[in-house]
Structure 1
Amino acid sequence: MPDDDYVYDENSGEWVQATALTATDPLAGPVEVRDAVGNLLADGDQVTLVKDLAVKGAGQTLKRGTLIKSIRLTGDPQEIDCRYEGVKGLVLRAEFVRKR
């Protein structure tokens, strides 16, 4: 029997062969990112904030209703990358935005 590498799969809670895990990797396909009301988000969408958010390190608060233009998906179903004036490297959680 060949010496196979085994990897612990956190989703199933089992040890599986490394080759089998890469074949069923959920990140290999497109990730569905949904906003606060369940709308599907895509790269380039415009979103508005549904809650006031204090931005760490920037010393400012983004108010509810603020328009964020041209978002980018990060590969994580919970986070979106975006730009806003005066804030570099802004990453927002999808639960705090709504598609416009």
Structure 2
Amino acid sequence: MSDTTTLQACPECHENYTYENGALLVCPVCAHEWIPQGAVETGSALQWEADTLRDSVGNELRDSDSVTVVKSLKLKGSDSIKTGTKVRGIRLLSTPVNGPDIEAKIPGVGQIYLKSQVVKKN
């Protein structure tokens, strides 16, 4: 999460020392874990509201953000994108193309479409 955004206080003990653990917020004082506001749990999966695009750990993505690929991706041919590849200046797609919702230009690969679930905001 960016430095300018504050996390919500713990609903159990009301302390402000919360931190993110994946898609959950955790209070180190009372060990309470909860789903942050803006997220909806459907079955066993955690899904965010439709008006925001989130990365693999729940950070909100915006145009021109820098991200890191968190999963190795195989491409057609012999190319692949390795875990840890940094991508600068992403563009969010208003209409996803066959599932991907991010357009990015990766050095050595070129223009590519990515799903937000395989990137993490820097």
Q: Could you say which TM-score interval applies, normalised by the shorter chain?
A: 0.5 to 0.7
Give yes or no for contact 2:100–2:113 (8 Å, CA) kept in 1. no
In the TM superposition, what whole-angstrom CA distance separates every residue of 1:51-95 from its partner, at most 9, and x where no partner exists?
1001235x3111101101100000138510000123333000000
| Amino acid across the alignment from 2:114 | L
- 1:68 pairs with 2:87: yes
TM-score by length of 1: 0.62
Question: Which structure carries more strand by proportion?
Answer: 1
Q: What is the distance in 2 between the residues matched to 1:90 and 1:41?
A: 17
Give yes or no for contact 2:70–2:120 (8 Å, CA) kept in 1. yes
Rg: which structure is higher? 1
More relative contact order, 1 or 2 (CA 8 Å, 6+ apart): 1
Give yes or no for contact 1:73–1:80 (8 Å, CA) kept in 2. yes
Residue aligned with 2:120, SS: strand
Aligned partner of 1:89 in structure 2 is 111
Change (3 A) 1:78 1:85: closer
| Amino acid across the alignment from 1:83 | K
**Residues matched between the structures, number:** 70
Give yes or no for contact 1:33–1:78 (8 Å, CA) kept in 2. no
* % identical equivalent positions: 39
Aligned partner of 2:56 in structure 1 is 36
Runs of 5+ consecutive residues of structure 2 not aligned to the other structure: 1-49
- 1:50 pairs with 2:70: yes
| Deviation >4 Å, runs of 4+ | none
CA RMSD of aligned residues (A): 2.0
Question: Which structure carries more helix by proportion?
Answer: 1
Deviates more, 1:40-49 or 1:83-92: 83-92
Aligned partner of 1:79 in structure 2 is 101
